[in-house]
Structure 1
């Protein structure tokens, strides 16, 4: 009976034995220098399977029954074909590198034919964990993905969760560990841009060599052409010779942070099948965190990573692939879409998938629950997310951080507060207001507003507002300029010439697409002066006057991508150009309006990134007005030189897009064109915390002023001869502070040399 039982189980025992696997782990080092590791070595088995050593020279392999390591090859080393122990493999440097170089043309041909179609749909699961000194951060995402020529890569996220957190903030939806497409010119790793080995740039930046070849596969090794090229990778790629497609790709990075990423590709579709990525602290200088700020939860690296042994592990799979031209993009033109579910995603949801890695393998620990509660992590995450937009949430209100503190020459110190209701109050309408007090002019400013959300998909809001405040003379604000948030507004400190206004009106905001936003506003304003200025019309002097105005503005960002989280739309990724245009018409006699005039404005901003981390930027702007335009509503070129006698007395704060040598109130225009050119070099890595940036700047303006005789009790120049200045900034020398120098030349060069010179400090703070 026992023998029969044994014979019955024998087939199962044999099957288990045949399928048995053995694990081997080790590291590969240079035989001539035990401290020198060998990354990107290829371990080849007798069953023609291929494994890589990572960026630390380590490997971990599951061998099948009867499978052994047959050979180890690496660029710059002799092949290793005998093994005493796998814990440490020593490779001997080769005297000469006789590898065959692969042409850039060949690489480009493979990349062009990597995918069989331009239309795909598939599903994705990812799990990102971060281990450091606090309980583990675990982020999981489940998504349905479409890849089309019309909209590119789109994710419809079905579930997003972080262990211990009940709510999902937009940052968790938008943040990607790495770029999906490695075949574009630039890819991003945790918001840091790198040149892809398979870029389409004109300049060759990588070299490829054939490392190993069989009738079935060809293994290529690649590295940057120039040493010290920090924003680049080294790696390996396995090419399937029967299809001329990637089978497997490894990239490693050992610099500001360390990265090891391996992707397996489907031999038929050419799409990724699975990716595993590891990120560790490196030499420092960059922050790597899901939330930023001072939070350790979700953080891999601080600027100074000493003593930080954190590790990020990211696993992702793509499955259920469908291909064909019949696949259309999602009807909503967003890169990411997430309709949040109430409460935390239950663990059972993740356990239902057939992929074992996605399940947590354990319930949320008591330690994590205690940490989340004690450190108030949930509220901190929400506050950091709101803080990025310039708000601080308190209950149903978001406090407007831009209104807390300001300083200028008219109001002196201005203290204030502004609030707007958030989604905790209502998802369908909002209420807001502000109040501020100037200690020099001893006057309160205040305003109220309300909005009704008509269509969340197009961010269509109907708004009503009332403001009683001051504005700079000659300022021309674009309605659709996105909120630019800064704790400190540099140029505002030096402004001297304001007017007072009391305005009420209605506006309609609507996005035809996420990339094309528009706003239409009608308002009635009562204007009064802070200086002895008067406008002459038909023999009558107007110091105070009323304006009835209609304004339409649009902003087009064709290369921006957007995400929709709940009922709100957020910017997912910014890429130039940015194009804004606006038309404004003031009506004489309508609702007691005193003047009739028209204003047209447009501007284009374009950035050109370069492979070495430098950046060139161009901003071209134009304004024109005609009719009875008072000086308050004319144009200026953003002057930023205080009206003081010498260079040191004018030492102040440089603006972001201003003419540093142009004196305040020196020029006004009814026709104006400006050009700003900047070239920023890659940051100088003096230390992890001191990384100054050198920017070369050239600014130009030309304009004219119609009917200057209408403007009484004031004198100013036009820009008809063309204004020029050049200079440089050395930014972020210490705690965000730097220095700015500019020189005024050309037709408006002043007789006294020091009047043409600007020396200021700069302040750039990124939280």
Structure 2
């Protein structure tokens, strides 16, 4: 009887404790806990924090998951089963992966956080196989740097944080349990997306301190075309009375995707699992591969940062980072359990050196920008051959000296010849760099060449290499200019790139045209101009490397400003005029692979402006009577239905809106990209009577066109169709239609 009483007492006591615990858990609902967590974010996040971190990323596979069979492949020929080949790829892969990882890289960094702004200074790094690391890797956003960020980046995809105001409307929360960690009560709250139908949604678990509602641990999961698991762990610091970062880890595996998935800057490809293209359900190596990243925090320091030097630089790579001695790596970080780590370096170092991959990557980087290096000289591929209606075939050669000659001095130039006009064109420039961090160059150049009339050109725009540049193909109205230029290029202003220049030109239109100014007709003229051109990317992130500054995260909007003014009375300048141009560029990519682009440009030219310096609105259509006769190649940001030399303005505005849809999966090799696009322009022209012997219209009533693009149908070839409507609609229906071919070729490298 006594035993029974004790037994029931224990049961009742346990039951009572359970009820008490559940009551404590349910004191707040999950939503109330998350709301309070969001309210206390700024209090709980460490706002002044500095730490040394060690990160290791490996691309590997578990040998136990690979069967390692030797398969015999037969074919049926004339009714007989004949041996075709012996496939031992699985066995070879298992043999290799048992001894080493497929790839690995490590880095030691100093992480600084001040009032929500982060900066990473990389002190030492090494990449298997490479003497000089591929710096772009450090910019990849594989997992959030802070668990308190408003937006979470996982494998370069963006999600709203579960502890953000926007995230609160997108997730369902569930209070699962409470537990004790480091002698502190902790809530365990799971979250999942409210919308279940869409792919690649974020799930996870939040472990929150019951007293402070700060993050103790954070688990993030994505299960879609990739399987991603990210873990953030914290330690409780009694001096701060708060949880501070301890370590992060990330695992990426293949998910469910019909088409191949490219990640890590498109350097890793997970093969697709579409049964239509793989009816035998063959296993690829990527079915076993996983990418793992580990980050550990050491020597945390608090409230010691007064300011972040060069805070516009998100990542800074120390010049000595690639020359650190090996013993530095193992002072804190040696992992004796990873027996495959050292063999990975030995194997890949010899393999990369033997196959000269590092040299090929350097060449590839230059080729994507339009150069091919030959010793100390980079040949410019743009100048080899081109075509337009005035010059015919234009053949030439040119380039620029590279770092093998000098890192602080460069000579650039080209020579070209037009087979139709029979004239040589030349360009020669030399420049000296006197600011390494700010990449400040001063130079002088001379050019004798042709330009398209009235073409808006921002001097700061980066040169873009195109295997084929279609628009100049049909241009026939050029002017020759012989120009001396003194210029200063710099990035001294944070998040900008600027050019300041003075030019003196002799300009001669190569078509029947005269400009009347104060009763005098001019067939040619001198112009001396001061120009400043500034590209400002206030929301982008930048990385400073030993070889220069890189825009590592292109964020929008971007702004471009340009101002030009003729210098009256200097070097025989003929006309008093000036110009102001502005460009607004905005792009937004969505996790659903949709993309919205919006471009706005405006220009204002004042004073006595000859037609060479007006605005032509970037036309790209031939004045032919039949649609088939007008089929050429589509341009970029140009009016496809506007005829060449149809409209000119001294004041204009241009808008373009484009919606790009995800790739259409038609076959393994045919995956076109479909886009809808609309363009609108309006402009006026003061003193039209000054322009003689050349007929054109003005754009006072505006110009509208809309259409679609089906790009990259096969090997970069596609087509576009555009329709012209509105006030400048033409009487004949077919005259308003423009059908063009498009060429977009991916060379396989990333800037």
Whole-angstrom CA distance in 2 between matches of 1:685 and 1:212: 44
Q: Once the 2 structures are TM-superposed, how far is the Cα of residue 239 of structure 1 from its aligned partner? A: 2.5
Q: Once the 2 structures are TM-superposed, how far is the Cα of residue 674 of structure 1 from its aligned partner? A: 1.3
Contact (CA 8 Å) 2:37, 2:214: kept in 1 or not? no
Q: Once the 2 structures are TM-superposed, how far is the Cα of residue 524 of structure 1 from its aligned partner? A: 1.2
Matched, 1:706 2:686: yes
Which residue number in structure 1 is paired with residue 483 of structure 2? 503
Q: 1:160 aligns with which of 110, 122, 125?
A: 125
Which residue number in structure 1 is paired with residue 74 of structure 2? none
| 1:714/1:383 CA distance change after superposition, 3 Å | same
Q: What do residues 15-38 of structure 1 show as CA deviations (whole Å, max 9, x unaligned)?
A: xxxxxxxxxxxxxxxxxxxxxxxx
Report SS of the residue matched to 1:590. coil
Q: Once the 2 structures are TM-superposed, how far is the Cα of residue 469 of structure 1 from its aligned partner? A: 1.8
Report SS of the residue matched to 1:569. strand
| 1:449/1:614 CA distance change after superposition, 3 Å | same
Matched, 1:126 2:39: no
Whole-angstrom CA distance in 1 between matches of 2:334 and 2:410: 43
Q: What do residues 478-518 of structure 1 show as CA deviations (whole Å, max 9, x unaligned)?
A: 12223434333343333332222221210011223331222
Whole-angstrom CA distance in 1 between matches of 2:704 and 2:630: 19
Whole-angstrom CA distance in 1 between matches of 2:200 and 2:693: 57
Matched, 1:139 2:105: yes
Structure that is richer in helix per residue: 2
Q: Once the 2 structures are TM-superposed, how far is the Cα of residue 143 of structure 1 from its aligned partner? A: 0.8
Whole-angstrom CA distance in 2 between matches of 1:380 and 1:741: 39
Which residue number in structure 1 is paired with residue 231 of structure 2? 262
Contact (CA 8 Å) 2:179, 2:187: kept in 1 or not? yes
Q: What do residues 245-293 of structure 1 show as CA deviations (whole Å, max 9, x unaligned)?
A: 222222233333332222213445555321221223342646546575x
Q: What do residues 597-631 of structure 1 show as CA deviations (whole Å, max 9, x unaligned)?
A: 11111111123444544333322221111222111
Give the total of aligned pairs. 663
1:293-692 alignment, distance < 5 Å: 299-301=268-270, 307-309=284-286, 310-324=289-303, 326-331=305-310, 333-341=312-320, 344-354=323-333, 356=335, 362=342, 367-566=347-546, 568-610=548-590, 612-686=592-666, 689-692=669-672
Which residue number in structure 1 is paired with residue 176 of structure 2? 211
| 1:558/1:102 CA distance change after superposition, 3 Å | same
Q: Once the 2 structures are TM-superposed, how far is the Cα of residue 234 of structure 1 from its aligned partner? A: 2.6
Q: What do residues 364-414 of structure 1 show as CA deviations (whole Å, max 9, x unaligned)?
A: 665334311221112023223334544443332333344444333333443
Report SS of the residue matched to 1:356. coil
Whole-angstrom CA distance in 2 between matches of 1:670 and 1:524: 22
Whole-angstrom CA distance in 2 between matches of 1:742 and 1:754: 11
Contact (CA 8 Å) 1:427, 1:567: kept in 2 or not? no
| 1:271/1:214 CA distance change after superposition, 3 Å | closer
Whole-angstrom CA distance in 1 between matches of 2:168 and 2:34: 13
Contact (CA 8 Å) 1:245, 1:267: kept in 2 or not? no
Contact (CA 8 Å) 2:160, 2:166: kept in 1 or not? no
Which residue number in structure 2 is paired with residue 106 of structure 1? 35
| 1:198/1:101 CA distance change after superposition, 3 Å | closer
Q: 2:251 aligns with which of 250, 254, 278?
A: 278
Contact (CA 8 Å) 1:121, 1:327: kept in 2 or not? no
Which residue number in structure 2 is paired with residue 246 of structure 1? 215
| 1:115/1:686 CA distance change after superposition, 3 Å | farther
Q: Once the 2 structures are TM-superposed, how far is the Cα of residue 345 of structure 1 from its aligned partner? A: 4.1
Q: Once the 2 structures are TM-superposed, how far is the Cα of residue 442 of structure 1 from its aligned partner? A: 4.0
Matched, 1:736 2:716: yes
| 1:326/1:193 CA distance change after superposition, 3 Å | closer
| 1:238/1:570 CA distance change after superposition, 3 Å | same
Which residue number in structure 1 is paired with residue 9 of structure 2? none
Which residue number in structure 2 is paired with residue 148 of structure 1? 114
Whole-angstrom CA distance in 2 between matches of 1:308 and 1:192: 24
Contact (CA 8 Å) 1:160, 1:173: kept in 2 or not? no
Contact (CA 8 Å) 2:641, 2:722: kept in 1 or not? yes
Q: What do residues 515-567 of structure 1 show as CA deviations (whole Å, max 9, x unaligned)?
A: 12221111111222222222222333322222111111222111111111115
Between 658-667 and 611-620, the greater mean CA deviation after superposition: 611-620
Whole-angstrom CA distance in 1 between matches of 2:370 and 2:146: 32
Whole-angstrom CA distance in 1 between matches of 2:328 and 2:663: 45
Q: Once the 2 structures are TM-superposed, how far is the Cα of residue 695 of structure 1 from its aligned partner? A: 2.5
Q: Once the 2 structures are TM-superposed, how far is the Cα of residue 581 of structure 1 from its aligned partner? A: 1.2
| 1:199/1:689 CA distance change after superposition, 3 Å | farther
What is the root-mean-square deviation of aligned Cα atoms in Å? 3.1
Report SS of the residue matched to 2:328. helix
Which residue number in structure 1 is paired with residue 84 of structure 2? none
Contact (CA 8 Å) 1:130, 1:299: kept in 2 or not? no
Q: Once the 2 structures are TM-superposed, how far is the Cα of residue 213 of structure 1 from its aligned partner? A: 3.6
Between 559-568 and 316-325, the greater mean CA deviation after superposition: 316-325
Whole-angstrom CA distance in 2 between matches of 1:179 and 1:436: 50
Contact (CA 8 Å) 2:36, 2:213: kept in 1 or not? no
Q: Which runs of 5+ in 1 are unaligned?
A: 1-99, 293-297
Matched, 1:180 2:149: no
Report SS of the residue matched to 1:458. coil
Between 530-539 and 460-469, the greater mean CA deviation after superposition: 530-539
Q: Once the 2 structures are TM-superposed, how far is the Cα of residue 708 of structure 1 from its aligned partner? A: 1.5
Contact (CA 8 Å) 1:577, 1:607: kept in 2 or not? yes
Q: Which runs of 5+ in 2 are unaligned?
A: 1-28, 62-92, 275-282
Whole-angstrom CA distance in 2 between matches of 1:125 and 1:142: 5
Contact (CA 8 Å) 1:169, 1:385: kept in 2 or not? no
